[in-house]
Structure 1
Amino acid sequence: MDSGERTQLTRQILAENLRTVDEPRSDDPLLEQRGGGPRPRYAPHHTPPEVIRTASPRAANPGVAGSPKESPTSETGTRTSHAPDGGYGWVIVFAVFMITVIQDGLTFSFGLLLPYFKEEYEATDGSGSAVNSILMSFTFFLAPLASILSDKFGVRKVAMCGSIIAFLGALLSVFATKIWHLWITYGGLIGIGFGMIYLPAIVTAASWFEERRATAMGLAVCGTGVGVAMFSFTVEPLIAQYGMQGFLLVLSGIVLNVLVFSAMLRGIPHSSYEKRKAQRRRSGRGGRDAGDEVQMEPLNEKAAPDTDTAAPAAGGRLPFLRQWQYWVMLVVILLCGFSAYIPFMFLVSRAQHDVGRHVNGQALTYITGGLNVVGRLFSGFLSDRKWCNRGVFYASSYIISGLSSIFSWLCYNFETFAVYGAVYGFSGGIIIALQSVILSDIVGIDNLSPAFGISLVVLGAASLAGPPTAGAIIAAQDNEYKWTFVVFGVIVLIGGVIFLVVPLGDLCRRLLGKRGNKYTPPQPGSVSA
């Protein structure tokens, strides 16, 4: 064979490989293997051919030595980094747990602080609750910015900067003399700091796990309930001992501890990717198969030895915006973000109004926070079971939460309020623990950061309007709290019923034999690709 024939043959081989990469046939049996991992449970049933990228038959086949089965190619065109499912990931879980102990504990125990804010700064229910409303809104509104900054500078640096800002906000609150001063310092600055921490921490923890993601996330975010219980025992004694200014000074020191745990965050390492590339190059030089000589790498892939950035979005695109399930999720988040935080904020005030000032607000907050922890742990354990349908589980928790607020109309003493707080805390813990897990089921782990960021913006807008609206209703009812709990409970109930459309819609499609956007019942270890 002369040089001209060899050149012609080489060009044919290259053309065939490129055609295989860019235009995969629908009947190609290797297409079933190229994904390397399960699709997002809410992903479209058919994969668009133009977004499937693979290296070669050797790289595509997870059963061939040297193939990157631990880093499969996703349907959005990028390779999904393989999650270690343990190791340093458990350190990340502990760090996120401690971050949520302080951050969410402070946020969700605000109901204990509200009476003191009203007395110290001569505030109303509406103006006092606006402090926490602003805090939560900034926390959620800054999620997209935190995602962008994390991709550029790394989750550790962004979270540490947020910790310092939150500390300064708590420290400056010591000098507040009017309630609007706290809007700026306690609500604004602490909210900005927490906003730079929340999304990077949650996404980082989720990216380290695949098979045990629900369990890991349940453990990570159960710090909320622990924090609520911790603050329930410390707020009133600290204020009684040191006054409001002294309490805020101590609080600033507590918030500063978030800096330590933020320093523990890091993304999954990518050094193994370079080793796989080198191994595949060596196997290519071995001359086993001419088809393996050309190794096509996935598009938009950047390998780094070790990075603390979270899982990036697929090539800068937002493919999840084409999924109707994601839009249903946003509607549910909007409704429930508007109403779900009201009991945490007004439960103590309502119990003391309806029963008497002698009601132990610490005990009510402790019960609510303690059952919140149990709910989060229970959700992580149960949702990883093969027979558990996460979609139904998630929607049912909303429905139970809404019904409990509606029937809180019947509460008349400490015991009945304690039962309501327990049920509401338990169901609320399940909802919060499953939120990022359900989102990753819908959009895939590679798109979790931008999808979570958008959902948090929606949540921030809703939480900004919810507490002041509740305060206005309370004022219009002559400081009567019952109707507020009923109205907002109905809104939560509606949100849960709406989300049931997703799993029940898939069930109907199965029964009718139709094909479309498919919801697959959860299986342990199944993650988005």
Structure 2
Amino acid sequence: PVPPDGGWGWMVVFGAFVSIGFAYAFPKGLAIFFKEIQDFFGTSYSEVAWISSIMLATTYGAGPISSILVNRYGSRPVVMFGGLLCGVGMISAAFCTSILQLYICVGFITGFGLALNLQPSVIIIGKYFLKRRPIANGLAMAGSPVMLCTLAPLNQFLFDNFGWRGSFLILGAILLNCCVAGALFRPIGAATASVKPQVTEEGKDALKEKITEEGVMEMSSPTNVSMENNIEEEGGKDCCEKINKYLDFSLFKHRGFLIYLIGNVLMFLGFFAPIVFLAPYAKHRGIDEYSAAFLLSILAIVDMVARPATGIIANSKWVRPRIQYFFSFSIAFNGTCHLLCPLASSYTGLVVYSSFYGLAFGMVCAMLFETLMDLVGAARFTSAVGLVTIAECCTILLGPPIGGTLIDTFGDYKYMFIKCGAVMVLAGTFLFIMNYYNYRMLAKEEKERKTKEEDPKSVRTENEGRNNWSKDTTQVEPELEPLREEQGGVKKEKNGT
């Protein structure tokens, strides 16, 4: 169906605003409780960092499962079920008695619920919008900073009044609002299931039964055996076709997709660790708890403005044809902010860092999925999101714990910020260079295609040459027959002797 580019699509954007907001902001907002959870269980920085890491990795790693469920059932039921899982996970976490149980309840259960919120929200925007898609994506992605801006002070307030266990109970109830957001995802166009494949499957089942009955009556017939083998081969092919229908593995032959995948996997090694450790770093510097939480609010406020603004800029006629360059610059700019963070020794310096970090973070997040859709197109976007997220989950899982290990080893946060900054600058540089190469190759391929279309004479001459050659060969064949017969007679005589 043709995307309506408006109408009910704006209600879908609002639902995606809520779902994406919780999916991205919730793991970061939990950082408010880390210092207290660390003291309560007597764990290290790296051990408590695994809570956010497992949650983020599960959110991204479950991307293919989410994509398959969306293709099978649609976005609405998947998001509503994901919201239910989020609520169950956080309510269960309130009764945990060890850090391992928190890994399971907060990390895996809630993380999987957030995955079922993130992917369908991104996918359905691509179905409702085409011309205004960058703006719609920017508005939906703005849900993350709005939620983070709200959750940071809210979590601190809840902790002061109810403790971390009571806070988790209330947060579990709040996450059930994802079910309401999912209800807004009205399906567009016809149902995905078609009648024809069902008929085909029924026909195949009937054929298999018929062949089995004939095989019992005529076991010695080789024809029936070969037909059964063919049916089994077709069944194996059908299984592969079904898997490829939900996850298009031919994308790994797509040059632009591979460049995007490698750059993003490298980027996520340093993407989330700074925001996870920002509030604990401020507390470590002697800043009070509410001021430390307010740093996340500052970051979120700037991020909130940056995302839709980036979407508008990315949708302009000057930037959209080369949006990959803009994305590469945003990643490198993000890394530069982290490299300069250790120079911020006072609270004012941390406020300045949080402002620039919020700008860079918003720029990257606003274009994260838009650049992928620009490369692979809307038709293959669902599979691309699933494959990208499962590849990214490894570095997302390792990023914060590696940062926590650096803090535990050196007793200073600056090495964590330097590591994250260096990795992101490297990722941005890689994407810039490789996208330049990709644009050059695409222009060259397009030029060659146009040359072939505009100059059909060469193709016609080549075809005529082939036809003439085949005619000459056909004419020569009868002339060569006597000679072949004579050669055959000589061979027979030799064999006779």
- Is 1:482 paired with 2:402? no
* One of 141, 147, 164 as aligned partner of 2:61: 141
Give the number of equivalent residue pairs: 398
Q: Which amino acid aligns with 2:353?
A: Y
**Which structure shows the higher helix fraction?**
2
Percent of residue pairs identical: 24
- Is 1:339 paired with 2:259? no
Residue number in structure 2 paired with 1:85: 5
1:436-462 C-alpha deviation (Å, 9 max, x unpaired): 111111111011111011111112111
- Is 1:104 paired with 2:24? yes
Which ranges of 4 or more aligned residues in structure 1 deviate by more than 6 Å?
312-316, 510-514
Q: 1:481 and 1:516, CA in 2 relative to 1: closer, same or farther beyond 3 A?
A: farther
Structure of larger gyration radius: 2
Q: Give the match's secondary structure for 2:94.
A: helix
Q: Which amino acid aligns with 2:83?
A: S
Aligned 8 A contact 1:122 1:179 in 2: no
Q: Which moved more, 1:350-359 or 1:196-205?
A: 350-359
Residue number in structure 1 paired with 2:185: 265
Q: Give the match's secondary structure for 1:404.
A: helix
* Residues in 2 aligned to 1:376 and 1:99: alpha-carbon distance in whole angstroms: 16
Residue number in structure 2 paired with 1:460: 393
Q: Give the match's secondary structure for 2:363.
A: helix
After TM superposition, give the deviation of residue 506 of structure 1 in Å.
5.1
1:269-309 C-alpha deviation (Å, 9 max, x unpaired): 249xx9xxxxxxxxxxxxxxxxxxxxxxxxxxxxxxxxxxx
Kindly report which structure 2 residues correspond to 1:404-423, keeping only aligned pairs within 5 A, or say none: 404-423=337-356
Q: Which amino acid aligns with 1:186?
A: V
Q: 1:512 and 1:333, CA in 2 relative to 1: closer, same or farther beyond 3 A?
A: closer
Q: Which amino acid aligns with 1:473?
A: L
After TM superposition, give the deviation of residue 405 of structure 1 in Å.
0.3
Aligned 8 A contact 1:313 1:449 in 2: no
Q: 1:513 and 1:258, CA in 2 relative to 1: closer, same or farther beyond 3 A?
A: closer
Q: Which amino acid aligns with 2:384?
A: A
* Residues in 2 aligned to 1:123 and 1:319: alpha-carbon distance in whole angstroms: 44
Q: Which amino acid aligns with 2:63?
A: A
Q: Which amino acid aligns with 2:416?
A: T
Q: Which amino acid aligns with 1:147?
A: S
Residue number in structure 2 paired with 1:379: 310
* Residues in 2 aligned to 1:429 and 1:463: alpha-carbon distance in whole angstroms: 18
Aligned 8 A contact 1:110 1:344 in 2: no
Q: 1:104 and 1:499, CA in 2 relative to 1: closer, same or farther beyond 3 A?
A: same
Q: Which amino acid aligns with 2:266?
A: L
* Residues in 2 aligned to 1:317 and 1:178: alpha-carbon distance in whole angstroms: 41
Residue number in structure 2 paired with 1:14: none
Residue number in structure 1 paired with 2:231: none
* Residues in 2 aligned to 1:441 and 1:513: alpha-carbon distance in whole angstroms: 17
* Residues in 2 aligned to 1:232 and 1:423: alpha-carbon distance in whole angstroms: 18
* Residues in 2 aligned to 1:509 and 1:145: alpha-carbon distance in whole angstroms: 34
Residue number in structure 2 paired with 1:304: none
* Residues in 2 aligned to 1:212 and 1:485: alpha-carbon distance in whole angstroms: 36
Residue number in structure 2 paired with 1:471: 404
* Residues in 1 aligned to 2:435 and 2:7: alpha-carbon distance in whole angstroms: 34
After TM superposition, give the deviation of residue 195 of structure 1 in Å.
1.4
Q: Give the match's secondary structure for 1:233.
A: helix
- Is 1:497 paired with 2:417? no
Q: Give the match's secondary structure for 1:446.
A: coil
User: Which 5+ residue runs of structure 1 have no aligned equivalent?
Assistant: 1-80, 275-311, 519-529
User: Which 5+ residue runs of structure 2 have no aligned equivalent?
Assistant: 195-242, 451-497
Residue number in structure 2 paired with 1:162: 82
Residue number in structure 2 paired with 1:305: none
Q: 1:151 and 1:408, CA in 2 relative to 1: closer, same or farther beyond 3 A?
A: same
After TM superposition, give the deviation of residue 376 of structure 1 in Å.
0.7
Q: 1:175 and 1:269, CA in 2 relative to 1: closer, same or farther beyond 3 A?
A: same
Task: Provide TM-score, normalisation by structure 1.
Answer: 0.71
Aligned 8 A contact 1:136 1:191 in 2: yes
Residue number in structure 1 paired with 2:139: 219
- Is 1:368 paired with 2:299? yes
Residue number in structure 2 paired with 1:197: 117
Q: Which amino acid aligns with 2:299?
A: T
* One of 157, 179, 196 as aligned partner of 2:99: 179
Task: Provide TM-score, normalisation by structure 2.
Answer: 0.76
* One of 387, 399, 407 as aligned partner of 2:332: 399
After TM superposition, give the deviation of residue 354 of structure 1 in Å.
3.1
Aligned 8 A contact 1:155 1:265 in 2: yes
